[in-house]
Amino acid sequence: MRLNRWMRLGFWLGLVASGGAWANFDTRPVDQFTIADGLSQDSAWAMTLDSQGFLWLGTEDGLNRFDGQDFRVFRRDDKGGNSVADNFVTALLADQDAIYVGTRAGTLQRLDLRTERFDSLPGAIAAQFQGNSVDELLLLGPGRILVGTKDRGLVSLTFQDGQFIETGRWVGPASGLPSNQVRTLHLTRSGQVWVGTSKGACRLQDLGPRCIQPDWPGLRQLAKSNVGAIITDAREQLWVAGVSEGVVRISRDGNRFDQFLPENSGLPSKLIEVMKLDSLGRVWVGTKSGVARFDEQCNCFIKPRALGRSPDEPRQLVLSMLEDASGGLWVGYFNLGLERIALDDNGIRHYQPSAYSSATMGADQVRAILPIGDNSYLLGTFGDGAYALDTDPDTGLIATLKPLLQLPDQDTARREVWTLALIDRKLYIGSNGGLHVLDLDTRAVNPIKIPGQRMVLRQLLHDPHHDVLWLGMEDGLCRLQLADGSARCLNADPNTPGHLSDRYVFSLHLDRQGRLWAGTWNGLDEVDPERMLARPVSAEETGIASALIFDIAESQSGQIWLGSADGLVRFTPGSAPEVYRERQGLSNGVIYGVEFDADDTLWLSSSRGLMRFDPRSKVITAYDQRDGLQSNQFFYGAHGKDDHGRLLFGGIKGLNRIDPNRVPRTLRPPKVFVTGVSVLGQTLRPGIRSDDLPVLDAPPNYLDVIRLGPEHNQLGIEFAAPDFDQPRLLNFEYQLSGFDPRWQQLGGRRFVSFTNLRAGDYELLVRARNRFGELSLSDARLKIQVAPPAYETWWFRTLMVLISAGLIWVVFAWRTRDLRQQRLHLEQEVIRRTDEVRAQNERLAAQQAELERANRELFQLSNRDPLTGAYNRRYIQERLARALASHGQLAIAIVDIDFFKRINDQYGHLAGDDCLRHVVACMSQVLADRAEFARWGGEEFLIGFEQLPGADVGTLLEQLRTTLAERPALADGKQVAMTISIGWCDGAGGQKYSLAEQIRRADTALYRAKEQGRNQVVASD
């Protein structure tokens, strides 16, 4: 076959550009999983995703379910229980709430995820598979699958009414199969099934009786070839991988094809076990030498650079690949475990000088970054001098990386560059060896010295309006006049007027008003550029005391921000500062650098990665090495912004270039599932019965309710969110309805336990937030029913009442009979002697009762409100006046029903009366005997607290307000929601007020409560 002309041209251009080797492409750091992480065995032969998002893996030692952090392993039960039939799992296929499992031993089972029951093939069908590896499974529709075997051809099965039914079989030449060893199956969008065998490929149309081999040139190229993988791409081109023929791409009509081999396309190996089309339409191949992606620009295969092992390491046999819903490609290796590659370009690119050139490792420590043009940058490194970096505008990869100075190894001071400034084609380089200027045209290098100054540079700042270069050094601050080379310096000598707060100057900034700010080891200084006098900025203005100022930055709107060793500061001269630290959401409180994107959003570098801070919403998003950062450790002063608005940050392993518009700010909200239930420390499995433990009706992730007995006083619940994009950054929270209505924060912890739950019905709700703060759209829910002990059941209590009543009756009857005998002897004498006394007592009793009744009626009429039964105004005034005169410690509160007129208007005055009585009932319940209260007038009540501390008074009043807000009144047969406002005055403090003054102050506080929105408690000033 002849290669397409343009493909040849692309091949040679790519070869020349890469220096004779095929290029790699950058990805975010991968996640790796092996036996050490809980995987049952390090060969991942098969993968699939179930309907809930869990990842299932087939290994040589069992079936694994992975939730992003933990593996659950299913192995064969040698006792013959419900389990996987063989531990060597070779094929997996998800179908709604089921997983089909094929093994090397020739068994095929259907795992019902709702019951965790394994259904096996019936005997007649199983016998045909026995001892013959099930290598491929393909889903044709719900319950309909194709099964490819090692040497017994192809079988179609339907799972219906709990059993497998064979619906078709293709074996031998009569079926059209090139070989009975089926190696791969692929279903096209048009419904055709491609079958790859050990001796070529064929196509099943509508599952007809024969598998047809189209007479296509590309397929003729693969005749008798061992076909390991087949896919179709977005343009419906057919990709076929043969062991000795590499990859053949066949046009949709079959008339044209391209062949890709290691020697013409960068294909890592001819041995290909799997191909995958990702959601972005890109073709991936898994070979004996690792994974690669087809690149349409070069018409070649390129390998990811950021895999956990070197992309050029041999013996990386890929067995399986799968894309998850979070945008990651899973790669299963032979004996090397599992890896996940992030498919998306998240706008964060990493450049490591030592990986692209002969630069030493010292060049990776980027201390200074100076953008010059669209895609060119000057770098100051801490150990290898200064470099010029050019990136390719199309690929973003490093095009050239050249040292600017040829320095001897022993000149360590000049090789430790801290800061750079470019002025009129002259590059000023500040290092531990002083200040040097490099003429970029002549390449001449000259030192600049200032008499009396130890030239250890930390920061350079160019003022083009005054042709001045400011030098921040370890020994102070200098102003260098570029025209004549003259200099004036300012130090930290306390005997010098206008001295710096500290001699060590870390940062400099000239704001839009012409003010020069210097960040030192001991805080912030404002410097007069003309007079060279410094004014220390107080801690009240910066919000931080004596903190090292690493960076000073000004936004497009003119707002100044400080990056310090004690957090991020929004600094406005003359105004109160805003300080943000870890408790305000920063991932790290040491801020090395501050840059702004086009939206005036802040990007912060630290020793724990980068942060994106939106000053408007106060939302903080953290990014770390898993997002593609050079490392989590960055350097102060090492940051910049190029002409495209891309941000640059340097650290210990190179630098990052960030396109803020492409960095994701949202993720798929996590969905939480219950994954484990334990009682009394023992894990429960569905369907397993025990005399001491409850039985689960379904697996935990499908469980609706768990029923506990009174003896089950320890309950543990585990949960997970199968989100694979940095799942360890998920934060969980839960609520146990029926016990505590508040949401409890768990952070990254994925379990919760309860002890000694009282009898009753509860519901556990669990949700999660991803690293961008997005909350689960729905909660994981599990109802918990706790049965009461026998002594708390209704029938036990009824029995005890009956027994107690019987005993009382027996005792009463015996005692009654004894007393009756005694009374018979004394009755006559008692009757005689008591007749006269009885008559007299009856007269006295009648008089006394009449007097008491009259007194009660008089008291009620004079001291009680007839409508509500509460004390009236006169009574409470007299009572409080006596209390004030007696001990002087008195607190007074006035309660007013909010919008009481609206209640009367809407429900009627009878309902309003019911509401007043409801308020009195609630006040009686809450206040009990700790206070006296009375109806003061209309819908107002007055409460008096005698000798009660102010804190307790406030607590009782808040409890009263909350009780009435949560407990509607039953008024005229209707529930009426109502709230109250309370104003109160504490006369038990240092101030002594008269009773009238206290009532006036409480009334004023009440009006403040109403003005502030009602339904609240307000204390007087």
How many other β-carbons are positioned within 10 Å of the β-carbon of residue 567?
21
Q: Dihedral through CA 399, CA 400, CA 401, CA 402, nearest 10? A: -170
Write the pLDDT tens digit of every residue in 926-943: 998 899 999 998 899 999
CATH fold, domain 873-1019, is Alpha-Beta Plaits (3.30.70)
Residue 716's pLDDT is 96
Residue 117's pLDDT is 94
For tokens 């003010």, the residue is 515
In whole angstroms, what separates CA 460 from the centre of its chain? 40
Q: Among 211, 218, 217, 207, which Cα is nearest to 197's?
A: 211
Q: Which H or E run contains 471? A: strand 468-473
Lowest mean pLDDT among 396-400, 437-441, 535-539: 396-400
Exposed, middle or buried: residue 824 (CB in 10 Å: 0-12, 13-18, 19+)?
Answer: exposed
Q: Is the torsion defined by CA of 335, 338, 343, 345 positive or negative? A: negative
What mean pLDDT do residues 384-399 have? 88
Write the pLDDT tens digit of every residue in 886-899: 877 889 999 999 99
How many other β-carbons are positioned within 10 Å of the β-carbon of residue 211?
22
What mean pLDDT do residues 674-700 have? 90
User: How far apart (Å, rounded) are the C-alpha atoms in residues 492 and 523?
Assistant: 12
Task: Decide: 941 and 870 in contact? Cβ < 8 Å.
Answer: yes
In this predicted structure, the answer to whether residue 646 has a pLDDT above a threshold of 70 is yes
Could you say which DSSP state residue 484 is in?
Answer: T
- Quick one: three-class SS letters along 367-403? EEEEECCCCEEEEEEECCCEEEEEECCCCCCEEEEEE
Percent of the chain scored above 70 by pLDDT? 95
Residue 18's pLDDT is 37
Write the pLDDT tens digit of every residue in 538-548: 999 999 987 89
Which value, in Å, is the radius of gyration of the alpha carbons in the chain?
42
In this predicted structure, the answer to whether residue 680 has a pLDDT above a threshold of 50 is yes
Give the confidence band of 9 by pLDDT, cuts at 50, 70, 90. Answer: very low
**Longest C-alpha distance within the chain, in Å?**
143
Residue 64's pLDDT is 98
User: How far apart (Å, rounded) are the C-alpha atoms in residues 992 and 989?
Assistant: 7
Write the pLDDT tens digit of every residue in 850-901: 777 777 777 777 788 888 989 999 898 888 888 888 877 889 999 999 999 9
Q: Among 856, 862, 886, 887, which Cα is nearest to 875's?
A: 862
Mean pLDDT across the chain: 89
What mean pLDDT do residues 803-820 have? 87
Exposed, middle or buried: residue 124 (CB in 10 Å: 0-12, 13-18, 19+)?
Answer: exposed
Contacts of 406 (CB under 8 A, 6+ apart): none
Helices (H), 190-252: 217-221
Exposed, middle or buried: residue 910 (CB in 10 Å: 0-12, 13-18, 19+)?
Answer: exposed
Q: Reading across the β-sheet that carries 227-232, which strands appear in turn?
A: 227-232, 238-242, 246-250, 257-260
Residue 855's pLDDT is 73
In this predicted structure, the answer to whether residue 16 has a pLDDT above a threshold of 50 is no
In this predicted structure, the answer to whether residue 830 has a pLDDT above a threshold of 90 is no
Exposed, middle or buried: residue 20 (CB in 10 Å: 0-12, 13-18, 19+)?
Answer: exposed
Lowest mean pLDDT among 26-35, 421-430, 546-555, 986-995: 986-995
Two structure tokens written together for 852? 């008491």
In sequence order, the β-bridge partners of residue 553 are 561
How many other β-carbons are positioned within 10 Å of the β-carbon of residue 400?
13
Residue 690's pLDDT is 79
Residue 606's pLDDT is 97
In sequence order, the β-bridge partners of residue 463 are 468
Could you say which DSSP state residue 696 is in?
Answer: B
Q: Reading across the β-sheet that carries 751-755, which strands appear in turn?
A: 682-683, 673-679, 714-720, 751-755
Please give the backbone phi and psi of residue 465, each rounded to the nearest 5 degrees, phi first: -70, -30
Q: Among 1013, 961, 966, which Cα is nearest to 982's?
A: 961
Residue 528's pLDDT is 95
Identity at 321, one-letter amino acid code: M
Lowest mean pLDDT among 504-518, 603-617, 969-983: 969-983
Write the pLDDT tens digit of every residue in 51-90: 999 999 999 999 999 999 999 999 999 887 889 999 999 9
Say how many CA atoms lie within 13 Å of 49 toward its Cβ.
17
The CATH superfamily assigned to 674-782 is Immunoglobulins (2.60.40.10)
Residue 774's pLDDT is 86
Q: Reading across the β-sheet that carries 731-737, which strands appear in turn?
A: 705-708, 780-786, 760-769, 731-737, 740-747
Residue 199's pLDDT is 94
Residue 988's pLDDT is 64
In this predicted structure, the answer to whether residue 395 has a pLDDT above a threshold of 80 is no
CA angle 728, 731, 733 (to 5 degrees): 140
User: How far apart (Å, rounded) are the C-alpha atoms in residues 66 and 248?
Assistant: 34
Write the pLDDT tens digit of every residue in 521-538: 999 999 999 999 999 999
Residue 601's pLDDT is 96
Two structure tokens written together for 274? 């799997």
Q: What is the CATH number of domain 38-170?
A: 2.130.10.10
The CA–CA distances, whole Å, from 218 to 221, 240, 267 equal: 5, 9, 18
Residue 3's pLDDT is 32
In sequence order, the β-bridge partners of residue 417 are 431
CATH fold, domain 422-658, is Methylamine Dehydrogenase; Chain H (2.130.10)
Two structure tokens written together for 248? 């053949």
Task: Decide: 704 and 763 in contact? Cβ < 8 Å.
Answer: no
Could you say which DSSP state residue 316 is in?
Answer: B
- Domain range summary for the chain, segments of one domain joined by +: 38-170, 422-658, 674-782, 793-849, 873-1019
The CA–CA distances, whole Å, from 119 to 100, 108, 114 equal: 9, 9, 13
CATH topology of 38-170 equal to that of 674-782?
no
In this predicted structure, the answer to whether residue 821 has a pLDDT above a threshold of 70 is yes
How many other β-carbons are positioned within 10 Å of the β-carbon of residue 959?
13
Q: Among 619, 615, 571, 570, which Cα is nearest to 597's?
A: 615
Residue 729's pLDDT is 86
Write the pLDDT tens digit of every residue in 283-332: 999 999 999 999 988 899 998 865 444 455 556 899 999 999 888 999 99
User: How far apart (Å, rounded) are the C-alpha atoms in residues 909 and 324?
Assistant: 65
Write the pLDDT tens digit of every residue in 163-209: 999 999 999 899 999 999 999 999 999 899 999 999 999 999 888 99
Which three-class secondary structure state does DSSP give residue 531? coil
In this predicted structure, the answer to whether residue 844 has a pLDDT above a threshold of 90 is no
Q: Among 984, 977, 987, 986, which Cα is nearest to 1003's?
A: 984
Two structure tokens written together for 720? 């997970």
The CA–CA distances, whole Å, from 317 to 331, 657, 981 equal: 10, 33, 74
Residue 812's pLDDT is 87
Contacts of 812 (CB under 8 A, 6+ apart): none
How many other β-carbons are positioned within 10 Å of the β-carbon of residue 929?
6
